[in-house]
Amino acid sequence: MQPEVVAVLAILVLTVVAVTAYAELRRGWGRGAPSGYRASETAVAPTPSGDAASAVRSSDGELFGDLSELADQIDAGIVRMDDALSVVMANQAAARLLDRQRGVLVGRSAMEAFVDHRVEGVARAARERGSATTEVSVGGASERTVIVRARRGLTGGVWLILEDVTDLRWLQRIRTEFIDNLSHELRTPLTTIRLLTETLAADLETADVSSRIRDRVQKIDVETGHLVQMVNELLDLSRIEGGATHLQMDAVDLESVIRGAIDRLRTFADRQQVSLDAELPEDGDLPLVRGDDERLGQLLINLLHNAVKFSPRSARVVVTARREGPEVIVNVRDEGAGIPRADLGRIFERFYKVDKARVRGAAGGTGLGLSIARHIAEGHGGRIWVESEEGSGSVFSFAIPILDDGVRGEPVADPPRE
């Protein structure tokens, strides 16, 4: 949502809240409280009567009319619900998104208005906790994808802001399908090229050819390998972002995941002449986490691969893990060149790469590994971050929530389906 729209919505909501409170006060005046005062008022106010009360009601009507007109000028849907979660106000955009006549919505319950239990659930959550958000499909035949943001009103009830993201989701789906198809089309010829270059390189070992030809064949093999890696990571990232990859959540022993990732990268680290070690709590004191062990292993391998690749010869890469509150925090520390401060904020963006000259071997990477790592960490309800200074190496860290009530050896129930 654009900042200008957010600002207008904020002003509108605050204005409606203020006028609602003002109207409630005026209506209380007209109920004939004893001695001309409302007993529930903190500050005592005289009761207007006759022409004064009529003028107040006229003023209230004009204010609500202005607010209604303002609400209708906003593209986002605005729905006001009372404490019983019945609709008391809805602008034209809300009626259009729900494919209803505007006046039909007023007086209906959340379930009757939206025909989706998730909206009622998010409204109840906002009433209890202050705010909640969900994404639903509404509108019947003209189905639209809508993000529903619910906020508790200052004077009671709940405000619902409806943002139409149908076109955005359609574009995301088209992008995912395009990348998926392109990756599949590229994977087969690239795999064939790499197999041919490997075969050619093996034949050249016994052939009487110059070292220059061998080097060129080797260069073809290396570059083809980079293309294969980029295609695989691009396909993987596209599926993760598109929601096509579902996490298989279970009890995960991060210590085993860490040691398995180190074993898989041991050969690469030895070739780079980099020491790769783990410093973990003794006696298996690391608590279990809920997660997908395969995806967590992928996250860790991406971080370790970068750490080894950016480290000089004879350097040391260390993986540590510890419990901190309700999370297990894993750190990957290297002794590389570090990351410039200007790049730290963008390091987890897709295709973003630090200066290629910093990578030993000059080939660099795809710029997708850290973006995939971020999606995996956030998909587990965790977080990922980096601390680095130029010339002092880097520490990439991620945190994964531990089991709510599980300890080592205890079975864990399957997570509830969304």
Length of the chain, in residues: 418
Q: How many domains does the chain have?
A: 3
Asked, for residue 418, whether it belongs to a domain, the answer is no
Asked, for residue 53, whether it belongs to a domain, the answer is yes
On whether both 39 and 56 belong to a single domain, the answer is yes
Asked, for residue 186, whether it belongs to a domain, the answer is yes
On whether both 79 and 177 belong to a single domain, the answer is no
Computed over every residue of the chain, the mean pLDDT equals: 77
On whether both 139 and 186 belong to a single domain, the answer is no
* Percentage of the chain exceeding pLDDT 90: 22
Asked, for residue 415, whether it belongs to a domain, the answer is no
Q: For residue 319, what pLDDT is reported?
A: 95
**Mean pLDDT value across residues 164-174:** 86
Which stretches does DSSP call E strand in 268-410?
Answer: 275-279, 289-291, 316-324, 327-333, 383-388, 394-401
Domain boundary among 182, 208, 241: 241
CATH of the domain at 313: 3.30.565.10
Q: Which of 6-10, 140-144, 383-387 has the highest mean pLDDT?
A: 383-387
State whether the Cα torsion 368-373-378-379 is positive or negative.
positive
Residue 80 structural domain: 3-168
Q: For residue 257, what pLDDT is reported?
A: 94
Q: For residue 415, what pLDDT is reported?
A: 38
**Mean pLDDT value across residues 389-399:** 90
Can you say whether residue 314 is alpha, beta or left, with left for phi > 0 and alpha for psi between -120 and 50 degrees? left
pLDDT of 222-261, one tens digit each? 888 878 878 888 887 777 776 667 788 899 999 999 999 9
Q: For residue 35, what pLDDT is reported?
A: 37
pLDDT greater than 90 at residue 289: yes
Identify the helix (H) or strand (E) that includes residue 78: strand 77-81
**Mean pLDDT value across residues 139-145:** 75
Q: For residue 30, what pLDDT is reported?
A: 41
Task: Please indicate whether residue 145 or residue 66 has the higher confidence score (pLDDT).
Answer: 145
**Mean pLDDT value across residues 298-310:** 91
Q: Which of 140-144, 182-186, 319-323 has the lowest mean pLDDT?
A: 140-144
On whether both 263 and 357 belong to a single domain, the answer is yes
On whether both 115 and 207 belong to a single domain, the answer is no
Asked, for residue 417, whether it belongs to a domain, the answer is no
Asked, for residue 364, whether it belongs to a domain, the answer is yes
Q: For residue 398, what pLDDT is reported?
A: 95
pLDDT greater than 50 at residue 11: no
Q: For residue 331, what pLDDT is reported?
A: 95
CATH of the domain at 206: 1.10.287.130
On whether both 230 and 130 belong to a single domain, the answer is no
CATH of the domain at 70: 3.30.450.20
How far apart are alpha carbons 254 and 300 in whole angstroms?
10
pLDDT of 352-366, one tens digit each? 777 654 444 445 566
* Percentage of the chain exceeding pLDDT 70: 74
Asked, for residue 93, whether it belongs to a domain, the answer is yes
On whether both 226 and 291 belong to a single domain, the answer is no
- Is residue 291 within 8 A of residue 400, CB to CB? The reply is yes
Q: For residue 262, what pLDDT is reported?
A: 94
How far apart are alpha carbons 75 and 128 in whole angstroms?
28
CA distances from 13 to 7, 71, 170 (A): 10, 9, 30
On whether both 388 and 289 belong to a single domain, the answer is yes
pLDDT of 198-230, one tens digit each? 888 888 888 888 888 888 888 888 888 878 878
Task: Name 382's Cβ contacts closer than 8 Å, sequence gap at least 6.
Answer: 327, 398, 399, 400, 401
Q: For residue 244, what pLDDT is reported?
A: 64
Q: For residue 1, what pLDDT is reported?
A: 52
Residue type, 139: G
pLDDT greater than 50 at residue 164: yes
Tokens of residue 240, six digits: 């993760």
Categorize the per-residue pLDDT at 68 as very low, low, confident or very high, splitting at 50, 70 and 90.
Answer: low
On whether both 210 and 262 belong to a single domain, the answer is no
Q: Global pTM?
A: 0.58
On whether both 179 and 193 belong to a single domain, the answer is yes
pLDDT of 313-330, one tens digit each? 989 999 999 999 899 999
Q: For residue 414, what pLDDT is reported?
A: 39
